[in-house]
């Protein structure tokens, strides 16, 4: 990796001029074969590098990276995203966030990676997180609240993301209770809220956000192509992950503040404006079975209310929802 770093630096400093393999090898102190191998590596990780015989190499396009510097430059928050742990590749940002939260990482810390090798959804389901294509992030919060408030955080997160998407692309997504953001019924974002608490108070909450940004259909594995989409697909062009992330953090901080000051009531109204399933017939699959009925809305606590055919009301804390055609 040190050859790689020096190579990137040399190519950037060359300012659009070509640098020959020989010149690079001498500058870095390695073989020309090593240079060639690293150029291939850089191409795989999203760099576009032009190579012309007798002239050498130059960078045409560098990948949209989520490094700490890029995120901090232009970030409009005071707490969220001020402490950043950035990884090129990681098993799951949730695991890392859990680990550092136990070691007193401050509120607002984010763990973010270009790629996850075992990204996960709810109930240990897999979350595909391909390199440089999305926002794969975990956020640590330490609200001084009782544990039963935790599910509301999934809803606050959904609002912050939906608003950020609107600000950056002008397109309005749909929120599907509790944790999906959709475009035309296809999943663009998943949210995973994990709670660490004592009997009466939250120690910390880890909010995992998996947001498909710049994938094209072939970037998705076969098994999710029917159900998944990305912002680039919906928007018709690529979106800067850094700018989107900055908007998410800014909105999140705003809504989090509002929530701590005024409670969930105000946010519930905003949340409902994005929701498509309310008033519709749905099937809710929970761990204890299926409930079929009409979605009436959510309670002040963020719990879903469903009325079945017999008129009985069910309160659902977590489920997969299918809207009946
Ligand atoms: P979920 O359980 O609601 O959704 C998981 C399901 O979504 C999978 O079973 C699969 O069908 C589908 N799926 C998998 N990958 C994708 C994808 N990229 N796009 C669309 N659909 C997909 C949702 O769980 C919560 C996901 C949170 C992911 C974040 S990423 C950062 C953090 N780290 C980590 O390991 N998880 C979270």
> What is the position in ligand 1's atom list of the atom closest to the CA of 113?
31
Contacting residues for 236 by C-beta, under 8 A, at least 6 apart: none
d(CA 263, CA 259) in angstroms, rounded, equals 5
- Give yes or no for residue 56 having a pLDDT over 80: yes
pLDDT tens sequence across 150-173 = 999 999 999 999 999 999 999 999
Share of the chain above pLDDT 70, in %: 100
Mean of all residue pLDDT scores within the chain: 93
Q: How far is the CA of 210 from the centre of ligand 1 (A)?
A: 6
Pairing type for strands 313-316 and 304-307 reads antiparallel
The lowest-confidence range among 170-174, 291-295, 319-323 is 319-323
Of the pLDDT bands very low, low, confident and very high (cuts 50, 70, 90), residue 47 is: confident
Tokens of 85: 């742990």
Q: How far is the CA of 240 from the centre of ligand 1 (A)?
A: 21
Contact between 119 and 100 under an 8 Å Cβ cutoff? The reply is no
Q: What's the mean pLDDT in 207-229? A: 96
ipTM over 0.85: yes
Q: What is the pLDDT of residue 254?
A: 98
Contact between 294 and 323 under an 8 Å Cβ cutoff? The reply is no
Q: How far is the CA of 209 from the centre of ligand 1 (A)?
A: 9
Q: Which of 169, 189, 168, 154 lies closest to 250, judged by CA?
A: 168
Angle between helices 2-13 and 32-44 (to 10 degrees): 80
Q: What's the mean pLDDT in 41-56? A: 89
Q: How far is the CA of 201 from the centre of ligand 1 (A)?
A: 28
Mutate to test the pocket of ligand 1, among 121, 191, 225, 230 (most ligand atoms within 8 A of CB): 121
Count of Cβ atoms closer than 10 Å to residue 49 Cβ: 16
Structural domains present in the chain: 2-61 (1.10.10.10), 68-274 (3.30.930.10), 281-323 (2.30.30.100)
Q: What's the mean pLDDT in 12-34? A: 92
Q: How far is the CA of 119 from the centre of ligand 1 (A)?
A: 7
d(CA 131, CA 122) in angstroms, rounded, equals 21
Mutate to test the pocket of ligand 1, among 127, 158, 248 (most ligand atoms within 8 A of CB): 127
Share of the chain above pLDDT 90, in %: 79
pLDDT tens sequence across 82-125 = 999 999 999 999 999 999 999 999 999 999 999 999 999 998 89
Of the pLDDT bands very low, low, confident and very high (cuts 50, 70, 90), residue 61 is: confident
Report residues whose beta carbon is within 6 angstroms of any ligand 1 atom. Answer: 92-94, 116, 119-122, 125-129, 136-138, 179, 187, 190-192, 208-210, 212, 224, 227-228
pLDDT tens sequence across 230-269 = 999 999 989 999 999 999 999 999 999 999 999 998 899 8
Alpha-carbon radius of gyration of the chain: 22
d(CA 310, CA 308) in angstroms, rounded, equals 5
Q: Where is pLDDT greater, at 302 or 168?
A: 168
């Amino acid at each position: 990796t040190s050859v790689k770093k020096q190579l990137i630096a040399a190519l950037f400093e060359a300012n659009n001029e070509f640098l020959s393999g020989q010149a690079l090898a001498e500058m870095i102190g390695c073989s020309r074969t090593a240079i060639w191998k690293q150029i291939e590596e850089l191409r795989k990780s999203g760099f576009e590098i032009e190579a012309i015989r007798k002239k050498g190499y130059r960078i045409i396009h560098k990948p949209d990276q989520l490094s700490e510097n890029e995120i901090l430059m232009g970030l409009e928050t005071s707490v969220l995203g001020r402490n950043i742990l950035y990884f090129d590749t990681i098993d799951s940002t949730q695991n890392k966030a859990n680990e550092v939260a136990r070691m007193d990482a401050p509120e607002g810390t984010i763990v973010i990676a270009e790629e996850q090798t075992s990204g996960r959804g709810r109930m240990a389901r897999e979350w595909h997180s391909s390199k440089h294509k999305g926002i794969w992030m975990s956020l640590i919060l330490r609200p001084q609240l009782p544990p039963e408030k935790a599910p509301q955080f999934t809803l606050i997160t959904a609002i912050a993301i939906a608003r950020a998407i609107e600000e950056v692309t002008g397109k309005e997504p749909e929120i599907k209770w509790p944790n999906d953001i959709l475009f035309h019924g296809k999943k663009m974002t998943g949210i995973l809220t994990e709670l660490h608490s004592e009997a009466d108070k939250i120690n910390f909450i880890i909010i995992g956000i998996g947001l498909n940004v710049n994938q094209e259909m072939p970037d998705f594995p076969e098994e999710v192509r029917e159900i998944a989409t990305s912002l680039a697909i919906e928007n018709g062009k690529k979106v800067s992950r850094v700018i989107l992330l900055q908007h998410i953090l800014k909105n999140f901080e705003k809504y989090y503040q509002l929530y701590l000051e005024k409670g969930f009531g105000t946010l519930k109204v905003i949340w409902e404006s994005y929701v498509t399933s309310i008033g519709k017939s749905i099937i809710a699959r929970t761990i204890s079975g299926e409930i079929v009925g009409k979605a009436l809305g959510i309670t002040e606590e963020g719990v879903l209310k469903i009325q079945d055919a017999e008129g009985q009301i069910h309160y659902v804390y977590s489920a997969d929802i299918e809207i009946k055609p």
